[in-house]
Amino acid sequence: MSSLPERPDQQSNNNPNLADDDDFIWLEELKSPTVLDWLQQQNLRTTRALAESPRFQQLESQILTLLNQDTQIPWVTQYGDYYYNFWQDSSHPRGLWRRTTLAEYRQSQPAWETVIDIDALGKTEGTDWVFQGAQPLTPAYRRCLVKLSPDGGDAVTVREFDLVGKTFISDGFSLPVAKSIVSWIDQDTLFVATDFGTGSLTQSGYPRMAKRWRRGTALGNAEMVYQGAPGDMSVFAYHNPTPGFERDFIQRTVDFFHRESFYLTPDNRQIRIDIPADADAGCHRQWLLIHLRSEWRLGDQAYSSGTLLAADFDAYLAGSREVTALFVPDARTALSTYTTTRSHVILNIMSDVTNRLEIVTPQADNRWQRRLLCPPGALSSSYAAGINFHSDDFMLTQTGFLQPNSLYLGKLGPQDDHPGPQTLELLKQAPDDFDCSRYQVRQHFATSDDGTRVPYFEISAKDLRLDGNNPTLLYGYGGFEISLLPFYLGSNGLSWLERGGVYVVANIRGGGEYGPAWHQAALKQHRSRAYEDFAAVARALSARQVTSAARLGIRGGSNGGLLVGNMLTHYPELFGAVVCEVPLLDMRRYTRLSAGASWIAEYGDPDQPEQWDFIRTFSPYHNLKAQTPYPPVLFYTATSDDRVNPAHARKMMARMRQLGYQQAWFYENTEGGHSAAADKQQTAFHAALVSEFLWHHLTAASR
């Protein structure tokens, strides 16, 4: 999901967003003294109940030790001759941005050179900075733009940094804290989309102006490149530096799933790239790549939703509509992502939520050659990414719920017909965080209310007894075309499986597991299908005697928080405990809170009475009722979350307590933004609190 500031409240007397009947509107004030006092009371109540026992403290310590292991893979990005990594541990809780050479990285204990010590920088400047990445200037890789958040939120300051001298450039490019989007054009010029002052942001709080900013000039004097409408989601411009194919682009994002892309010519003409508004466009050297979200008819040929097409960029802009299909989905198969090397496009293809990697390569006669890179694993996940646009080297990761991450370096040649495991060099292997040999992964399918088959992964002990008594944690998301692929459980294995629990991941509609149609099936007025799918998985777990309602807990964050909020209000009889993190819950006012207006394409517009009619049905805050046997619930959020406003969780908690529910708990971290954790200590506390809450309530009947 995306992020932004609160939209101006312009309401008429018949507007459904009127807050006159909202007893807890005051909790939308981010840091008023009254609110801060309320937060302190709620946090204290929760920590006293859940976080002061020796068992909690032991678990928190174990998780923190695991997270701080120096044997974890240091993930790297290549900039020039160096491989850069951001690393946090007990000595550097805010982290080190550091680098090494490939030869050193191959060693079991590489020698690292510190580029920026974020902890030391914070102490010097009096701000606990959170590192949010960097953008280097190619091809010299001497300058970069460093992004720092004061609290872990999406709003960052951007500062120019010298990678050779390892210092910030005192008179270099610098932007104050905002939700900025920047791109190098050359050493002395940037594309900048930021908060330029009154009227420069969309109703979602993102920039609606893209400008060209030249070194040595004031930001206020930057040259306007494009200006969108206040109702758009965002506008930005960027430079593609691929040697020989350098191009500038503008993107106007109308809403989360619709956009307009323009090629900005060297003489500043804007040429719209004529593709469907809901399609994604990318460039690979001389090729335009088009990923469709809906069916598209070109002449007498129809291309289905989820298809990836390639066209010659220059010919397409000149009017040609000759395209080649690089991937065509079917009922069980979808394209998850694609990436590029110098000569190839690598496709990440899902079949029933298990993926394989294929390579497609352009030939001299404009045909494309297709071949397998990595076969599907056994309920595992592989991902590949090109290292840079100069070579055909790539990094490949393989993982699974019980399979720690492996990182490989791959090399492809332009005419390499048989790339496979023999071309891969194992660079790093993550350790087991728990005894994975004791557990098994299985995939099952539940049947939703309308007959749809819904896949889910179940991770359990090999000697699992199907007696209905197993504490089980069911996780889901179901939105924004985001797929839940197999991932290493890591600390979840320690905090849940090792305690004797079963872990389940539901691949419900609203996600992208079966392509755009799987997502679109749960949009707006069809949102209930995602919740019906999740309930179907819960019923299947009980029917198969894996667990029972009293022993089934659920967890979801962000859009997943909205999911479990609806499970709480519509299906309380199916669950024994609910963990609802950084959630959307007040769907009447969600467009008025932080980045909410940017998600209207997903949920609908509550300002429109006919849309509020269906949105109300999945607004947990408005569906709470007195004298209903709700399961215990823990709300977890962050004051600094400028994407999904913490008021959602605050107000839901307050209303539940107003209605007399004592088994509602709340914790709000100060830092961390939408992840609700700014360092590993906060992550360990969060994980231990969730585990302790669920375990306490799901095993209560046996004590």
What is the DSSP code (8-state) at residue 6?
P
- Is the Cβ–Cβ distance between 311 and 333 less than 8 Å? no
Number of domains present in the structure of the chain: 3
Distance CA 438, CA 499 (A): 13
Predicted confidence at residue 15, as pLDDT, reads: 44
Q: Which domain holds residue 258?
A: 194-272
Picking from 218, 245, 272, the residue at the C-terminal end of a domain is: 272
Residues 662 and 538 in one domain: yes
pLDDT at 265: 96
Whether 188 maps to a domain, the answer reads: no
Are residue 547 and residue 650 in the same domain, yes or no? yes
- Which residue among 558, 598, 619, 675 is the active-site one? 558
- Is residue 281 within 8 Å of residue 266, measured between CB atoms? no
pTM for the complete prediction?
Answer: 0.94
In a domain, 595, yes or no: no
Assess whether 148 and 260 both reside in one domain.
no
Q: Do 567 and 635 fall within a single domain?
A: yes
What is the enclosing helix (H) or strand (E) of 555?
Answer: strand 552-557
Query: What pLDDT sits at residue 701?
Result: 56
pLDDT in tens, 290-323: 999 999 999 899 999 999 999 999 999 999 999 9
In a domain, 415, yes or no: no
Per-residue model confidence (pLDDT) at position 221? 97
Same domain? 202 vs 157: no
Active site residue 558: yes
> What parts of the chain have a pLDDT lower than 50?
1-16, 419-422, 703
Is residue 546, in this structure, part of any structural domain at all?
yes
Domain boundary among 272, 294, 319: 272
Q: Are residues 39 and 116 in the same domain?
A: no
Output b/e per residue, 351-367; b: 16+ Cβ within 10 A.
ebbbbbbbbbbbeeeee
Q: Verify that 458 and 579 share a domain, yes or no.
A: yes
Domain-located, residue 42: yes
Q: What is the pLDDT of residue 9?
A: 29
Q: For residue 565, what is the domain's CATH number? A: 3.40.50.1820
Whether residues 203 and 267 fall in one domain: yes
| DSSP 8-state code for residue 389 | S
Report residue 202 as tokens. Answer: 């969309």
- pLDDT at site 374: 80
113, 144, 178: which is the final residue of a domain? 178
Backbone angles phi, psi at 40, to 5 degrees: -60, -40
Active-site residue 200, yes or no?
Answer: no
Q: For residues 520 and 475, state if they share a domain.
A: yes
* Annotated active-site residue in 284, 674, 686, 697: 674
pLDDT value for 19: 55
* Angle of CA points 558, 563, 564, to nearest 5°: 95
What local confidence, expressed as pLDDT, does residue 420 receive? 47
Q: Is 129 among the domain residues?
A: yes
Q: Considering only CA atoms, which of 358, 396, 400 is closest in space to residue 379?
A: 400
115-168 pLDDT, tens digit each: 999 999 999 999 999 999 999 999 999 999 999 999 999 999 999 999 999 999
- Residues 87 and 145 reside in one and the same domain: yes
Amino acid at 566: N
pLDDT for residue 413: 79
Residue 3: inside a domain: no
Q: 143 and 220, same structural domain?
A: no
559-570 and 528-543 helices, crossing angle to 10° = 70
pLDDT computed for residue 416 by the predictor: 52
> Residue 661 falls within a domain, yes or no?
yes
User: Looking at the structure, do residues 160 and 51 belong to the same domain, yes or no?
Assistant: no
